[in-house]
Amino acid sequence: MEELKVVADILKALHFSATKHRDQRRKDVEASPYINHPIEVAELLARVGDIRDLITLQGAVLHDTMEDTETTPEELEALFGVDVRRVVEEVTDDKRLPKAERKRLQIEHAPHLSACAKHIKLADKVSNVRSVTQTPPADWPLTRRLEYLNWTEQVVAGLQGCSPSLERLYHQLLKEGRQALDSERA
Ligand code: ZN
């Protein structure tokens, strides 16, 4: 019974997130539905990271709702509780800042995040490295893709120790990504 409650709570977050992201697409050539990304992040946490914590899994499904949709912190708190609201806030960039500053702050803030937020941030970077390598934004030249990989490495350096299995996967994908981009250049 308890397990079904957890499944229902995760599905509630998934339904909410899918509704919020319904008009968004990823930037790859196929313009995949945006929701594929938060689903992948939550799935990586559950399968690779062996995470069973409900707040972390709901937070993963919801992690881009505040940054990329009209979702408010109050809405998240009313539906999912204060802990989920806090973890989503922790992984949300301040969109009032210029992009370069937001990227710098991600590197600076990473070591100070809560354990839940570190897990989500790490799985997010695993998903993004995979996308930038295999299904990159259509208009990104190689140099931009390489710079992106380098930047994620700096963020992930601040997340060390939170999940050895996810870190291993991240470093493997980073290495494969660099090799793939190198051979695309050749
Ligand atoms: Zn994300």
23-73: per-residue pLDDT in tens?
999 999 999 999 999 999 999 999 999 999 999 999 999 999 999 999 999
Average pLDDT score over residue span 132-141: 95
C-alpha gyration radius of the chain: 16
Told to judge if 147 belongs to the known catalytic residues of this protein, a careful annotator would answer no
Residues with Cβ < 8 Å from 67, sequence gap 6 or more?
92, 93, 95
- Which residues on adjacent β-strands are paired with residue 28? 137
DSSP per position, 144-173? HHHHHHHHHHHHHHTTTTS-HHHHHHHHHH
**Number of structural domains the chain divides into:** 1
State how far the Cα of 34 lies from the Cα of 186, in Å rounded to an integer: 31
pLDDT for 1 beyond 80: no
Q: Is 50 left (phi over 0), alpha (psi -120 to 50) or beta?
A: left
Cα of 38 from ligand 1 centre, angstroms: 6
Average pLDDT score over residue span 86-96: 96
Cα of 36 from ligand 1 centre, angstroms: 10
Average pLDDT score over residue span 15-24: 97
State how far the Cα of 114 lies from the Cα of 131, in Å rounded to an integer: 26
Least Cα distance to 120 among 178, 185, 43, 67 occurs for: 43
Cα of 151 from ligand 1 centre, angstroms: 15
What pLDDT score does 92 carry? 98
Cα of 64 from ligand 1 centre, angstroms: 6
DSSP per position, 70-105? S--HHHHHHHH-HHHHHHHHHT---TTS-HHHHHHH
Looking at 67, 77, 83, 167, which residue is catalytic?
67
State how far the Cα of 77 lies from the Cα of 95, in Å rounded to an integer: 20
The confidence band for 3, taking pLDDT boundaries of 50, 70 and 90, is confident
What pLDDT score does 11 carry? 98
pLDDT in tens, 138-186: 999 999 999 999 999 999 999 999 999 999 999 999 999 999 999 998 8
Told to judge if 9 belongs to the known catalytic residues of this protein, a careful annotator would answer no
Looking at 68, 83, 93, 167, which residue is catalytic?
68
End-to-end CA distance of the chain: give it in Å, rounded. Answer: 56
- Which residues on adjacent β-strands are paired with residue 103? none
What pLDDT score does 177 carry? 98
Cα of 55 from ligand 1 centre, angstroms: 16
Domain membership of residue 89 as a residue range: 2-185
pLDDT for 2 beyond 90: no
Query: Domain with 124 in it: what CATH number?
Result: 1.10.3210.10
Cα of 1 from ligand 1 centre, angstroms: 31
Cα of 51 from ligand 1 centre, angstroms: 17
State how far the Cα of 13 lies from the Cα of 3, in Å rounded to an integer: 16
Average pLDDT score over residue span 85-108: 97
- Rounded to the nearest integer, the mean pLDDT of the chain is 96
